[in-house]
Amino acid sequence: MTQPGLLDLALVRLDEAATHLQVDPDVIEKLKYPRETTKVRLMIRMDDGSRKSFLAWRCRYDDTRGPTKGGIRFHPDSNEDEVETLAFWMTFKCAVMNLPYGGGKGAVSVDPRKLSKAELERLSRAYIQAFARIVGPDRDIPAPDVYTNSMIMGWMADEYSQIVGQASPAVITGKPIALGGSVGRGDATARGGYYLVRDLASELGLEGRTRVAVQGFGNAGQYIASLLASDGNTIVAVSDSAGAVYSEDGLDVDLLIKAKAEGKSVVSTAGVRGHREISANELIAVDADLLVPAALESMIHEGNAASIKAKVILELANGPITPEADAILAEKRVTVLPDILANAGGVTVSYFEWVQNKQGYSWTLDEVHDRLRTIMVREGRAIWEIAQEKRVTWRTAAYIHALSRLAAAIEAHGTQPFFAS
Ligand code: NAD
């Protein structure tokens, strides 16, 4: 028997949500498979004059609610199953937030750290040349993901504009501000999660000063630690790929961010200001109220979920908790704020960037923050109400919330009963 793939596991959530709704079978049939996945081989000239090829994909999973939206990942382990799964999650994430988008995703199988900057630029432009007929401001809108950034988005937007013969900033989000990027995009993922735990504190039982552990100290991890610390919460533990540090009285977040900016691990701060080195497994189990996974997929699993003491988990990473660990946490009555809600601040501010590009008008930072907060709190509260009413986890409630919006759109396009009547 073949092992279930990542998409097979992700689809379990769809089946589960469907049991709570009266959904036409046509809807499930449509959402079970990606609409289109294109695979190409990109050939680029290397600095030494040789040519090298890289596999690349773009998946448009479902576009019923609008143009597909999703990042482009440059990673040596990228593959078609992962791209399609991430595009499936984007479909649900955009529906959770009620953004007028479907879900998409792209990837190149490459280790970008092995490329020079000029080679990286050629690869980024080659990606857009290959997919120019698939992407577009009203068709499919990429953004950064793992190992891609605003510089790469700038090159890609420029390449697309040259191909179509007109400036088209709305084709890609996460661009440099000088090329039509939005203020507030940098910390949007963490800020969305921060608004959720701050403004729904009473629903989450997190009132008062909170003790927080953060797993992963990159973009999402550093910003969430800073935002929560600035509110008087205590960051007791953080980790990165090299290890973890702990302080009962609270870590010095500025010191940790400085160490990362200098290219060092958080562990390099051990011995300073009461910081003490601990193991990665100890971080999961520290005495904290809130645990924030902000690293990679599947890091909370059957083997470590039972040791978690936190009452609430904010999934800033995509897919950090395996289905087995999810069941253990539900049994322990740990509240998990699921990735399709918790880290949706990033795509929400990407949507703001797209709107600003289409309007040719820039918003202020306060406008971006206010609008982000309004949407996070509105959808977070709606999901909490579904969880209460149906006595399900936040994750199942989030999938129910998204599925009801997707089903309404698919049914409005016409399902079998629609044509029978
Ligand atoms: P990043 O590369 O900036 O940071 C990742 C961090 O995880 C690094 O500090 C790395 O050292 C750490 N890490 C790696 N392996 C680890 C391990 N074994 N133990 C502990 N830490 C480890 O990436 P990011 O942009 O912060 O993204 C983190 C997660 O958030 C990913 O799952 C990503 O898909 C998700 N996410 C990010 C955004 C965004 O806007 N940045 C949006 C949505 C979702």
* Phi, psi (degrees; rounded to nearest 5) at 212: -125, 140
Q: Is 397 in the pocket of ligand 1 (CB under 6 A)?
A: no
From ligand 1's centre to the CA of 74, what distance in Å?
14
Q: Is 346 in the pocket of ligand 1 (CB under 6 A)?
A: yes
Q: Is 215 in the pocket of ligand 1 (CB under 6 A)?
A: yes
Q: Whose CA is nearest to atom 3 of ligand 1?
A: 218
Amino acid at 364: T
Q: Whose CA is nearest to atom 19 of ligand 1?
A: 241
From ligand 1's centre to the CA of 190, what distance in Å?
11
Q: Whose CA is nearest to atom 31 of ligand 1?
A: 317
Q: Do 156 and 143 contact (CB within 8 A), yes or no? A: no
Structure tokens at 271: 């011995």
**What atom of ligand 1 comes closest to residue 147's alpha carbon?**
2
Q: Are strands 234-240 and 51-62 parallel, antiparallel or unpaired?
A: unpaired
For 149: left if phi > 0, alpha if psi spans -120 to 50, otherwise beta; the answer is beta
- The residues that bridge with 245 in the sheet, in sequence order, are 238, 277
Q: Is 383 in the pocket of ligand 1 (CB under 6 A)?
A: no
Q: Which residue has the tokens 């773009």?
A: 58
Q: Do 246 and 283 contact (CB within 8 A), yes or no? A: yes
The Cα 136–Cα 156 span in angstroms is: 12
Q: What angle do CA 339, 9, 68 make, to 5 degrees?
A: 55
Pocket test residue of 94, 185, 217, 283 for ligand 1, highest count of atoms within 8 A of CB: 217
The Cα 74–Cα 156 span in angstroms is: 14
The Cα 343–Cα 69 span in angstroms is: 15
* Phi, psi (degrees; rounded to nearest 5) at 276: -130, 135
Q: Return the pLDDT at 148.
A: 94
From ligand 1's centre to the CA of 156, what distance in Å?
23
Strand, coil or helix: 110: coil
Q: Is 239 in the pocket of ligand 1 (CB under 6 A)?
A: yes
From ligand 1's centre to the CA of 114, what distance in Å?
20
Q: Is 356 in the pocket of ligand 1 (CB under 6 A)?
A: no
Candidates 105, 114, 332, 390; catalytic one: 105
For 265: left if phi > 0, alpha if psi spans -120 to 50, otherwise beta; the answer is beta
The Cα 252–Cα 259 span in angstroms is: 11
- The residues that bridge with 215 in the sheet, in sequence order, are 239, 293
Distances (CA, A) of 44 to 51, 305, 319, 357: 6, 44, 33, 30
The end-to-end CA distance of the chain, in Å, is 42
From ligand 1's centre to the CA of 296, what distance in Å?
6
Q: Is 243 in the pocket of ligand 1 (CB under 6 A)?
A: no
**What atom of ligand 1 comes closest to residue 319's alpha carbon?**
32
H or E element in which residue 353 lies: helix 345-359
Nearest to 63 by CA among 306, 406, 324, 415: 406
Q: Return the pLDDT at 297.
A: 84
264 in active site: no
**What atom of ligand 1 comes closest to residue 189's alpha carbon?**
40
From ligand 1's centre to the CA of 391, what distance in Å?
31
Q: Do 61 and 134 contact (CB within 8 A), yes or no? A: no
Q: Is 296 in the pocket of ligand 1 (CB under 6 A)?
A: yes
Q: Return the pLDDT at 103.
A: 98
The answer to whether the pTM exceeds 0.85 is yes
From ligand 1's centre to the CA of 316, what distance in Å?
8
Q: Is 343 in the pocket of ligand 1 (CB under 6 A)?
A: yes
Q: Return the pLDDT at 413.
A: 83
Structure tokens at 359: 């309007």
The Cα 384–Cα 382 span in angstroms is: 5
Q: What is the pLDDT along the chain (421 residues), one digit of tens a residue?
A: 567 788 998 999 999 999 999 999 999 999 999 999 999 999 999 999 999 999 999 999 999 999 999 999 999 999 999 999 999 999 999 999 999 999 999 999 999 999 999 999 999 999 999 999 999 999 999 999 988 999 999 999 999 999 999 999 999 999 999 999 999 999 999 999 999 999 999 999 998 889 999 999 998 999 999 999 999 999 999 999 999 999 999 999 999 999 999 999 999 999 999 999 999 999 999 999 999 999 988 899 999 999 999 999 999 999 899 889 999 999 999 999 999 999 999 999 999 999 999 999 999 999 999 999 999 999 999 999 999 999 999 999 999 999 999 999 998 887 666 666 5
Q: Which residue has the tokens 């003490």?
A: 276
Q: Is 181 in the pocket of ligand 1 (CB under 6 A)?
A: no
Q: Return the pLDDT at 417.
A: 65
Residue 210 neighbours by CB under 8 Å, 6+ apart: 197, 228, 233, 234, 289, 290
